[in-house]
A and B are shown apart, each in its own frame.
Chain A
Amino acid sequence: DTAVSQTPKYLVTQMGNDKSIKCEQNLGHDTMYWYKQDSKKFLKIMFSYNNKELIINETVPNRFSPKSPDKAHLNLHINSLELGDSAVYFCASSQSQARRWVTFGSGTRLTVV
């Protein structure tokens, strides 16, 4: 069973389109994240949710909107896609109180053309 699963794995779309990436975790974790990884492998946190509550919202354009319907799901919606949004997006989860490690999904490679 996949612990953190995100779909789709690949996403190719034109500039200006709106797209969503879905994420689900079956680990019972209370915290979920979205990270963006650029072509140089630099990993940047975008959002963090704890029990459906937004707790970290880094300087990310308003075009990016996370939605957490329950603590097992954290989706990412992106409006008006731009070329610079091309990257690999990782969903992840962890259990906050225990300061345990973060478990990552396999990533969504977004290419904006």
Chain B
Amino acid sequence: GNSVTQMEGPVTLSEEAFLTINCTYTATGYPSLFWYVQYPGEGLQLLLKATKADDKGSNKGFEATYRKETTSFHLEKGSVQVSDSAVYFCALSTTSGGYQKVTFGTGTKLQVIP
């Protein structure tokens, strides 16, 4: 079956530090990959996506590259801000029997301190 593994948190960084949150996956076929962000008290929001190998998704200074050879989709940001404090979820989507199947990782909490 499909699975997503992401690094356990919490991750605590100082403002302007470099961020990496690791994500690896196993899936049948060719999944689409996503990062979602959940701010306190809110639902999950799509942060970025990549639909095929070597695609780079980017948004709000965050980036992730679809690496088929290492089955990874690590999230990076060059300089984090306090407002980036949230929980980040890696996810993949495949189609099976005509239906979409979405698998989420366990989430990584990021805390950015001034």
Contact = CB atoms under 8 A, between A and B. Distances in A.
| A and B form one complex | yes
A107 B100 contact: no
A42 B100 contact: no
Contacts of A107: 42-43
A90 B99 contact: no
Interface residues of B, number: 26
B51 A96 contact: no
Given A99-B51, A101-B46, A104-B45, A94 B104 contact: no
Contact of A104 (B43, B51, B98): B43
A41 to B, nearest CB: 5
Main DSSP-derived SS at the B contact region: strand
Contacts of A92: 43-44
Interface size class, chain A: 20 to 34
Nearest to B30: A99
A32 B48 CA distance: 21
Contact of B102 (A50, A97, A102, A106): A102
Contacts of B58: none
Interface of A: 4, 31, 33, 41-43, 45, 48, 50, 55-56, 90, 92, 94-97, 99-107
Given A41-B107, A94-B100, A101-B32, 5 more contacts: A42-B107, A99-B32, A99-B93, A102-B46, A102-B91
